[in-house]
Structure 1
Amino acid sequence: MIRAVLLALLLAGPATAQVAEPDTYRGEPYRAPVPETLQGATVIDAAQAMRLHADGVPFLDVLPRKTRPEGLPEGTIWREPPHETIPGAIWLWDTGWEALAPAEQARLERGLEQASGGDRAAPLVIFCRSDCWMSWNAARRAIALGYTGIHWFPGGIEGWLAAGGAPLVRATPADP
């Protein structure tokens, strides 16, 4: 009996937590289970993301940029680690935090404007990593700015790769 129950649990796969959509932007911890919904957006899986990518829909990566650590001794050489993303994606770094500084808000607004060609109904895919609230926050902000063609890809980079998407490429950060 116990064996049968254990086998059934193993075959069922991991349990997924039901996460409610919050009324505001989400802060720490950013890497945590995300809701299955985002009001005003279309939530897509990896297969849908690959179809949209093949159709030329712009992809926006909102994963943060790693900066030089504070307190490094003078003369210490520091090289920014490379960030890899879905081919063709625009890296709108640091635009998925709970609260955005004016420069981050401006970067998001410019990036959305450029990617959409000024058409707030144009389809756009927003992503970062799997189980990452930053893409949810950025997509929610885009909706609040009046964008109606938002596709949120919660599977992110890991979902893309797991589904056999094209290999990742080195990202160039969008202008500051």
Structure 2
Amino acid sequence: MLRALLPACVLVLSITCHAESVTPSAPALFNADGYRISLYRSPTPDQAAGATVIGTQQLQSLLDQPRKPLLIDVYRRQWLQGRFIEDEPHANLPGSHWLANTGDGELSAQWMDYFTRHLRRLSDGHLDQPTVFYCRADCWLSWNAVKRAKALGYSEVYWYRDGLDAWQAAGLPVSPAQPETLQ
């Protein structure tokens, strides 16, 4: 009886081993430049190179300073046929500028220009302008935007890691938001 089952066991083992060897690998998480390119909504690190990670209390302290920081929201918004499509209302921290879609790991020339141009305009070209990037909790988009701003030479960069979720959890006000125009 055992001898009769042996060929079937070998066949099952062979199929199982073969199936594991052809299973596709997980998608790459980072590109060659170190930007996160997939699974944007997943746990984020405790730090971002060259940036100061802040919580809600630290952000409120910065907002009370005479030289107020720029608040940059990088939450995604669908872009279709040359315009942003509002699939659901979005709110952000009062006084924020929404540079939608600029936290993606790989930006086309058009989106990189959008990011660069608006940062330059909002900071009056001052690379030392305090700038806070945020999105939502467990969102790599703001981490990417911090990395990108540092690469552009911005020196006083803050990452509000838990972003809009932490702000709302603290019971602080939000404002209806519209992305900055692409033009």
| TM-score, reference length from structure 1 | 0.77
Gaps of 5+ in 2: 1-31
RMSD of aligned C-alpha atoms?
2.0
Distance 2:134 2:64 in 1: 16
Paired residue for 2:27?
A: none
SS of alignment partner, residue 125 of structure 1: strand
Matching of residues 1-176 of structure 1 within 5 Å:
24-55=34-65, 56-67=68-79, 80-165=87-172, 167-176=173-182
The percent identity for this pair of structures is 38
Q: 1:68 offset after TM fit, Å? A: 5.5
Q: Hey, which of these two has a bigger chunk of strand by percent?
A: 2
Q: Give the unaligned 5+ runs of structure 1.
A: 1-21, 70-77
The residue identity in structure 2 corresponding to 1:61 is D
Please tell me whether the aligned partners of residues 70 and 129 of structure 2 are also in contact (alpha carbons under 8 angstroms).
no
- 1:115-172 residue CA offsets vs partner (Å, 9 max, x unmatched): 222110110000000110000001100000100010011110001112232x111112
Distance 2:86 2:153 in 1: 38
- 1:8 aligned partner: none
Highest CA radius of gyration, 1 or 2?
Answer: 2
> Which ranges of 4 or more aligned residues in structure 1 deviate by more than 6 Å?
none
